[in-house]
Amino acid sequence: MFFDFEARRSAEVELLKDLVKERPRWSRNALLFRVRNGEGTFRSETCSSVTNKFFIRQQLFFEDQPLYQMNTKAMESVVKPGELHFGYGMENINSPELKAVRKKLDAGFSDLHSSLEDLRPLLGKLSDGYYILAETELIPTDGCNHFFWNSFGTYPALAGGYDNYWLREFKEGFPAYLFPTKSSGCFDPERGAYYEEIMKQGQKPYALAFYEYGFMNALLEGHHKAWATARLGLRLPCLLLIPVTGRARFDFAAREYTCAEFAGITIPIDELEDFEDLLPADVKDMELYHHLLFREQFWDKDFRLHSYPDLQELTDRLLVPVQESDFTPENVELWLKEIPTRIDKTSKSKFRCAFRSWMRTNPRQARKLAQDHIELQDEEIFRDIWEMLRYDRSPETEAMFREYLQMHDSSYPYWEIVQSYWKK
């Protein structure tokens, strides 16, 4: 199936496959498509520097303007945080195609095939190659419980994966969190309030994002919608564009990779005509820049960010065999008894998941659990309890924190965490 653009651009978008078997857990639906004769003004570029300790710089362009730049060391990028520098804010780029997409997204979502049709003027700006369009929900934080539109610099979620050291397991990155491409200084309170109100009524306006690396995604359209979801403790429905992110499944006999990878979705290379020829080559040089035109906004604190899992909880929930229905008082007590014996190495992660879930859904039960086990001799559990209780603004929690300060001094662990309860 082909969509033809005007003659001056001669761009074509070919729908190749409805990804049913290949669809991962984080996506509701996904489509594989190919761009031919693309304009190339919407593109990602990578520069690898061997002379600078294998430093990698990658940046995304829209209308030939740099939106952001990711910097990381090649040998550390799997588990080490990456840096982001923001460039020419999306609000400074006049794009009729993006404005048309905004209207389509605000009109409501019907199905992914219709969305591909709606996005075709924008997709014609991509470089030639293979891409996936996925329907998903993303978290409006940076993976560390910071509001996505007010977080700059180093991102732990901008690593290739997460290494759970007590489970001795590694979870590869997948689309989960957001970072902005628009200055927070251009926030419009009325527009944000509008989206908040229609979301309260049950509507689900969609946003548009571009997968970058690890667990992070660039929000191209929908910053005010993300603001509204953060106010309500919801996830942001998104149409997500995913470029080729690498190769997978090495055939040792043939000494070659057999699949292309798109953020964890693997497609056999045999199904992708001219795949190797369409891979973008490294650019020779890339200038380092720092926040060119971003204007910052000072946000109020009225966000429900503790409603969202941070990177550690997100991967815990995927690595251990536990469901929300398993979080019963009886199971939690059992897991606590198993932690010191180390009979089940997943007991600690199960407890952490349960406690964090209760902090969101049943704070009274979580407080009782914390009071009963506040002196548990396990540093990670102890820290988790205090970290999560910081978000519970209640007289009971404040009394617990005051008692800790009265019984201990600044030489004790978690003193700073407990003290931060009163910081604004």
115 lies in the same domain as 246: yes
CB burial string 355-371: b at 16+ within 10 A, e below: bbbbbbeebebbbebbe
- Asked if the structure places residue 382 within a domain, the reply is yes
Residue 253: the pLDDT is 76
Closest CA to 139 of 262, 2, 309: 309
Whether the pLDDT of residue 53 is over 50: the answer is no
218 lies in the same domain as 85: yes
Select the more confidently predicted residue: 422 or 218.
218
- pLDDT tens, position by position, 8-52: 558 899 999 999 877 788 889 999 999 999 999 999 887 765 444
Q: Which of 262, 278, 294 is the last residue of a domain?
A: 278
Taking residues 358-368, report their average pLDDT: 80
333 lies in the same domain as 413: yes
As a whole number of angstroms, the distance between CA 235 and CA 258 comes to 35
- Asked if the structure places residue 6 within a domain, the reply is yes
8 Å CB contact between 198 and 95: no
- Asked if the structure places residue 59 within a domain, the reply is yes
Kindly report the average pLDDT of the chain as a whole number: 81
- Asked if the structure places residue 291 within a domain, the reply is no
379 lies in the same domain as 267: no
- Asked if the structure places residue 133 within a domain, the reply is yes
234 lies in the same domain as 345: no
Ramachandran sector of residue 418 (left: φ over 0; alpha: ψ -120 to 50; beta: rest): alpha
Backbone angles phi, psi at 391, to 5 degrees: -85, -10
263 lies in the same domain as 135: yes
- Asked if the structure places residue 110 within a domain, the reply is yes
Indicate the length of the chain as a whole number: 424
8 Å CB contact between 211 and 240: yes
Q: Which two tokens stand for residue 292?
A: 């060119």
Question: Alpha helix (H) ranges present in 248-394?
Answer: 275-278, 311-319, 329-341, 347-361, 363-372, 379-389
196 lies in the same domain as 332: no
User: What is the span of the domain harbouring residue 146?
Assistant: 2-278
272 lies in the same domain as 326: no
Q: Treating both helix axes as pointing N-terminal to C-terminal, what angle do 96-107 and 112-123 enclose, rounded to 10 degrees?
A: 170
- Asked if the structure places residue 297 within a domain, the reply is no
**Residue with structure tokens 């292309």?**
260
Q: What is the pTM of this model?
A: 0.82
- Asked if the structure places residue 315 within a domain, the reply is no
247 lies in the same domain as 346: no
Give the lowest-confidence range in 237-241, 247-251, 255-259, 376-380: 376-380
- Report the number of distinct structural domains present in the chain: 2
329 lies in the same domain as 253: no
8 Å CB contact between 102 and 91: no
Q: Which helix (H) or strand (E) holds 256?
A: strand 256-262
104 lies in the same domain as 185: yes
Closest CA to 214 of 158, 141, 261: 158
